[in-house]
Amino acid sequence: MTVDGLLERAGRLGPGEVLAGALAGNLALFAVALVAGSLLVRRFGDRRVAPEPPPPDRREWLLTATAVLLNSGVGVAGWALWQHGLLRLSADTGLRAVAELLLFSLVMDALMYAGHWLAHRRRLYRLAHELHHRYPDPRPSTLFVLHPLEVLGFGGTWLAVLCLWEISALALAGYVVVNLVFGLLGHLGVEPFPARARRLAVFRWVALPMFHAGHHVDPGVNLGFYTTVWDRLFGTIDPAYDTRRTAENPAP
């Protein structure tokens, strides 16, 4: 089925069908993250960049379930905005969709850096983000261990940006994958990339798994998500990051 056909079909769905689909999709994303993450941790357990976490507790699972539900609600809200013409999606494919995906990811990276910086200001930190840092030793499911305000804040930012310009539905789907991949890799607690890959010039700017893991070890550094650009620009990058990034053994 073409992108046009998928959009036409989505436009005929009712709210209940959209909610069920959003919930199923978010559960699938969580399952993929959990399975893929567990396999990566098992395979590269000898490359730990953060201490091994204790078994998950009941609150961790509750926060994870809440995040999945709220993310589903954000998906339904996006569909409603689209139905009312406030959020516009195109059926563009090819290089245009790739360019839109890159641009959207960079814009979100900048906004998420700014939001993350604000979340670490004392009063705001205690309000919400402190909860995520109560789990300093990350595992794949830690990606979903967030205060509900943070989940809604990210979702609201995402929808606000989408309302500002028409974006390809394919690029939007690609961004969901990009966000999941970077989020998962950043919460593995291990570094799957070998030293020869980490030394490539591209990884000076594209965040490696060890980049966000370093933030869990020291919450004052490495505030970015997809790139290191903003941390380098504003001086919040871990001073030892590039040394560790290019070392044979990246352990802190």
Residues 54, 55, 57, 63, Cα dihedral to 10°: 90
H/E segment holding residue 98: helix 94-119
Give the whole-angstrom CA distance, residue 120 versus residue 129: 7
The shares of helix, strand and coil residues in the chain, as percent rounded to the nearest 5, are 65, 5, 30
Q: Are 33 and 180 in contact (CB under 8 A)?
A: yes
Q: Round the CA-based radius of gyration of the chain to a whole number and report it.
A: 18
pLDDT at 25: 95
Q: What is the DSSP letter of 52?
A: P
Side chain identity, residue 238:
D
Q: Tell me: the pLDDT tens digits for 57-80?
A: 999 999 999 999 999 999 999 999
94: pLDDT strictly greater than 80:
yes
pLDDT at 176: 95
What's the mean pLDDT in 181-204?
A: 95
What's the mean pLDDT in 209-214?
A: 94
What's the mean pLDDT in 193-218?
A: 95
Judge residue 83's burial from the number of C-beta atoms within 10 Å of its C-beta, 0-12 exposed, 13-18 middle, 19 or more buried. Answer: middle
Q: Are 223 and 117 in contact (CB under 8 A)?
A: yes
Q: Tell me: the pLDDT tens digits for 157-170?
A: 999 999 998 899 99
Give the whole-angstrom CA distance, residue 174 versus residue 177: 5
H/E segment holding residue 167: strand 167-168
Closest to 193 (Cα-Cα) out of 229, 154, 244, 145: 244
pLDDT at 92: 87
pLDDT at 123: 84
What's the mean pLDDT in 5-33?
A: 90
Give the whole-angstrom CA distance, residue 194 versus residue 12: 47
pLDDT at 3: 79
To the question of pTM greater than 0.85 for the whole model, the response is yes
4: pLDDT strictly greater than 80:
no
